Structure 1
Amino acid sequence: MAQASRYVGPQGADWWRGAVIYQIYPRSFMDSRGDGIGDLQGVIDQLDYIASLNVDAIWLSPFFTSPMKDFGYDISDYRDVDPMFGSLDDFDRLVEAAHARGLRVTIDQVLSHSSDQHAWFSESRASRDNPKADWYVWADARADGSPPTNWQSVFGGSSWQWDTRRCQYYLHNFLASQPDLNFHNPAVIEAILGEVRFWLERGVDGFRLDAVNFCTHGKLEDNPPREDLAEGFLGVRPDNPYGFQHHLHDKTQPDNLIFLEKLRALLDEYPGTTSVGEVGDDDSLRVMAEYTQGGKRLHMAYSFDLLGERHDPAFLQHTLTEMERRIADGWPCWALGNHDVVRLATRWQAADNPAALRLYMAFLLTQRGSVCLYQGEELGLPEAQLSFEQLVDPAGITFWPAYKGRDGCRTPHPWVANARYAGFSSATPWLPVPVEHANLAVDRQDDDPASLLNAYRAFLAFRRGLPALVKGDVRYHSLQGEVMRFERRYQGERLLVALNFAATPCEVAAPASAEPLADAPPLVNGRWQNGTLTLPAYGIAIARCSEDNPWDA
């Protein structure tokens, strides 16, 4: 196949630094065919809406051929589109249409594991001596017949599954139908890089790499127990045995860096492409730094550190300053929501607090790093409350009722408030559309100047015109009560940012020379005057300031 033309935008090859990437969950974005499931044509039909947000790129969650046991994160053919989403021709048209609107296209790549229906696994499990026998992680039982190690699956139970064809166990860090590929085999790495190259040749601009620190495993030794059962990757909680261990041997291994360097070398053959890795680890900030430093591995990485329930300014500032301390020349990517966690409006208790949602938006979009924005955040969608009978997520079904799974953040995007199924489809959707979501539909917010949707549009347009917010360095100052204060600097410009996380107004000292930005949207509502900054409840303030005016406590 001839290489597709590479999109060249005004930002240049490092467009990804400070980019805002809009995550689309295709099953739930827009159904163009009337079968209750979103598809690629539906994405094409709504590209003008996405462009109106003033984002820089889209990220498409998996649309590859799959038995859908984990809704596309179990791939049986890396090089084709599942018929429920359309065809390769639809994908090519999507890339062309997105590029025509100045939007780059990044796609999910699930590299650490495949579906058990992939042809590679079918061959691997057939015998112990076939050409792909060592393409997955196989091991003999212990003397008593138990699994080779005590490793636990993220989705519950042992991460080893017995296979009667080979009379061995195979490793699966997620569902038993998602066997782990053996990245210690050079042939596997070459094959995976070939799958990535296939999409590069089709003109994609980058990849979001699912569970990228799971690609390699270590010695087949038991993981030690842990005493603290803290919340972590994929909402892992004390009711899930996965959280009972320190995961020393089953993920985040040094050999993974070798693979990432090979992947980066491939991407460097296609200037202007990028990568953002999902990192789930006890010390995820360390891994984010290690995976992005030196320009030889990933371009960006993000973790689950800001995807939990805690959101007080002390916690947020500690997370950000710790990242800055570690990352050196690496580059973070931040997200407050995605397809794996409870929606932001519910998780951070702001479903009925538009001012707080504006503050959280400004917090995310003023940090150093790139941003992933999950579909529906711009509408302020709360978590959908579903009954057990409505669940389809295997994690939710396994851990109910302590954990209700990921379906509540994956329900269809509401487009038209008074239309059936909020305009998502003409047929019964694969997940229900809550009334609360229909009331927040795009058409209802579109023409309302005070809506959260238009606040996102305005702030993202404003941010685009401020290189210091997009690519600048950051320096954090001490908290003043519940006010977070920091500055961004780029090519001689210094911006001061203050965010009031309190439900009450406050005043803090400010440099007398702080100059409010005349083109700031109304949501930037702090008042800089005579050495004092006045902030309303959940207030946002940004100003220019000369280098020789310190911002002291």
Structure 2
Amino acid sequence: MNTDWWKGAVIYQIYPRSYQDSNNDGIGDIPGITSRLEHIANLGADAIWLSPIFTSPMKDMGYDVSDYCDIDPSFGTLADFDAMIEKAHALGLKVMIDQVISHSSNEHPFFQQSRMDKTNDKADWYVWADPNPDGSAPNNWQAIFGGIGWSWEPRRRQYYQHNFLAEQPDFNFHNPEVQQYHLDNMRFWLDRGVDGFRLDTVNFYFHDKLLRNDPANPKTDPEKGEWNPYHYLYHMFSKNQPENLVFLQRMRALLDEYDDRTLVGEVGEAHHPIEIMGQYTTDNRLHMAYSFEMLSYQFTPKHFRHQVEAFFEGAPNGWPCWAFSNHDVVRHASRWYKEGMDRNDLAKLAGALLLTQQGSICIYQGEEMGQLETNLEYSELTDPQGIRFWPEDKGRDGCRTPMTWSANETNGGFGNVKPWLPVKQPQLERSADTQVGVDGSVFETYREILKIRGESQALRTGATEYITSDEAILDFIRGGEIQCIFNLSDKAQSYTAKNGTVLISNQAEEHNGQFTLKTNGFVLLRLN
């Protein structure tokens, strides 16, 4: 038993629709995931996290749930899920699943009942509000996918709130019955053997009961404006409410009834995400939280240092979870690429940088091969965000295309029929079969660093001492034992390391402790 297995763990995120299609319907599924678990165990990850697999009409690819206690038929059955957990545990992998509880699908039976009138048993389970005297929406809250965050229901003569699509109505967490409903749903999966939850939009649960208008975003450039009206607002009242903290403690109390379980929350916030991460991981709330701060286009030593230092200064007893890519952002091997870079060297450096951070780590499927963002045409999109905001924002489909297992097989080995998103040549060139077991490949570099991390308590949980974070070099020491040096500039750099033994390096040459690090060069040393 290791009750703190999550602390410093490396979690491999699986996007189920795109991992492996086992029944040739073009959609990845749970039996497909089960058949590929050895790949993740061989890599050296500690756990897997599955994006939503619950019953859903798939208006937002499973982030619109209509049944929280069953598997969507496109992914398989509860029996398939049980078999996957059994195999994962046999391979030494923990299993975490996405919990999307701030909102449901509009096809959820409770919303269908709630929208009928103001007096039914579920009338207060969602966020309803009367119109203004002129019939307009109750306030200025915006939806992330565009437009006002309220939709009209003629039967109730009221608006309901939705932070995302109109098909994703927000639950009213001020209702204690709603809170208990979701705790009961989580218990259902805990009893099935799930080791933890990734909590989607964890800071969105509660809204301001007075429905006050959000103020204007002070960061908006009045000349340039914003591509999405959601970004014109500072979201003071539509999310980040203090009641959230009390409910997170109830969640934590539930998980504490079980052995070795964990909670990691996604903080979706543009203004003070690191502070919220710290607040949410102290005082018996979440075990871990992550934000989008390391999922941005910023790629400088000062940026990475600031995120880690700001977190631990604000929450010395909290714990972060860092990621460079996920299912919502452009893949980092494309996001940070600059003309003239070697893409494989960039991918290797990113892997080394991520896997040496103080905190727990999320790897997104395919990044262990240096997978790139897929360039899609408008006609190929399925993501409502991309469809709504094209071409200013191309949406999230480019990072969600199928895993490529074999460069010479149909659809890269994902399945034998046309997949839900296309497999293209740049992705085939980074297939697993071209890298697994190949010395010096991105995969084997990740695997080697994961082995180093797994065998080093200094890297898993040790404190970070920063030595240098200038315009080019990021140098820090973890746990007083492992020195980590990275060249994030577009020019070769000379740098003097401390006295130690090289554990792994790439694009780095040493002479008497003096290293020449080429662009995207790095070195990890065990100090003598």
Q: Is TM > 0.5 for Structure 1 vs Structure 2?
A: yes
Q: Distance in 1 between matches of 2:220 and 2:226?
A: 5
Alignment correspondent of 1:200: 190
Match of 2:252 among 261, 264, 269: 264
Letter in 2 for 1:62: P
Residues 448 and 478 of structure 1, relative CA distance in 2, 3 Å threshold:
closer
- TM-aligned CA deviation for residue 526 of structure 1: 5.8
Residues 534 and 349 of structure 1, relative CA distance in 2, 3 Å threshold:
closer
Alignment correspondent of 2:302: 314
After superposition, the C-alpha distances for 1:168-190 in whole angstroms (9 at most, x for unaligned) are 00010000010000110111101
Say whether 1:63 aligns with 2:57: no
Q: Distance in 1 between matches of 2:295 and 2:196?
A: 23
Q: Distance in 2 between matches of 1:444 and 1:148?
A: 56
Q: Distance in 2 between matches of 1:220 and 1:194?
A: 28
Once structures 1 and 2 are overlaid, which stretch shifts more, 499-508 or 262-271?
Answer: 499-508
Say whether 1:301 aligns with 2:307: no
SS at match of 1:207: strand
Say whether 1:39 aligns with 2:29: yes
SS at match of 1:184: coil
SS at match of 2:295: coil
| Unaligned stretches of 5+ residues in structure 1 | 1-7, 231-236, 547-553
Q: CA RMSD for the aligned pairs? A: 1.6
Aligned partners of 1:526 and 1:539 also within 8 Å: no
Q: Percent identity?
A: 48
Aligned partners of 1:527 and 1:541 also within 8 Å: no
Structure 1 segment 17-416 matched on structure 2, within 5 A: 17-218=7-208, 219-229=210-220, 238-281=226-269, 282-294=271-283, 296-349=284-337, 352-416=342-406
- TM-aligned CA deviation for residue 516 of structure 1: 1.1
Alignment correspondent of 1:537: 519
Q: Distance in 2 between matches of 1:348 and 1:468?
A: 28
| Unaligned stretches of 5+ residues in structure 2 | none
Aligned partners of 1:127 and 1:133 also within 8 Å: yes
Letter in 2 for 1:458: E
Aligned partners of 1:494 and 1:544 also within 8 Å: yes
Aligned partners of 1:526 and 1:540 also within 8 Å: no
- TM-aligned CA deviation for residue 480 of structure 1: 4.4
Letter in 1 for 2:79: D
SS at match of 2:520: coil
Say whether 1:503 aligns with 2:490: yes
- TM-aligned CA deviation for residue 533 of structure 1: 4.2
Residues 214 and 306 of structure 1, relative CA distance in 2, 3 Å threshold:
same
Q: Distance in 2 between matches of 1:434 and 1:128?
A: 51
SS at match of 2:468: coil
Q: Distance in 1 between matches of 2:464 and 2:473?
A: 16
After superposition, the C-alpha distances for 1:372-406 in whole angstroms (9 at most, x for unaligned) are 10001011111111111111101110001111110
Q: Distance in 2 between matches of 1:480 and 1:251?
A: 36
After superposition, the C-alpha distances for 1:271-324 in whole angstroms (9 at most, x for unaligned) are 200011000112100100000013x10000000001111112222222222222
Say whether 1:516 aligns with 2:498: no
Aligned partners of 2:333 and 2:346 also within 8 Å: no
After superposition, the C-alpha distances for 1:479-519 in whole angstroms (9 at most, x for unaligned) are 24411111111xxx5222211112333223444xx2214xx
- TM-aligned CA deviation for residue 229 of structure 1: 3.1
SS at match of 1:508: strand
Aligned partners of 1:524 and 1:542 also within 8 Å: no
Q: Distance in 2 between matches of 1:413 and 1:293?
A: 36
Alignment correspondent of 1:4: none
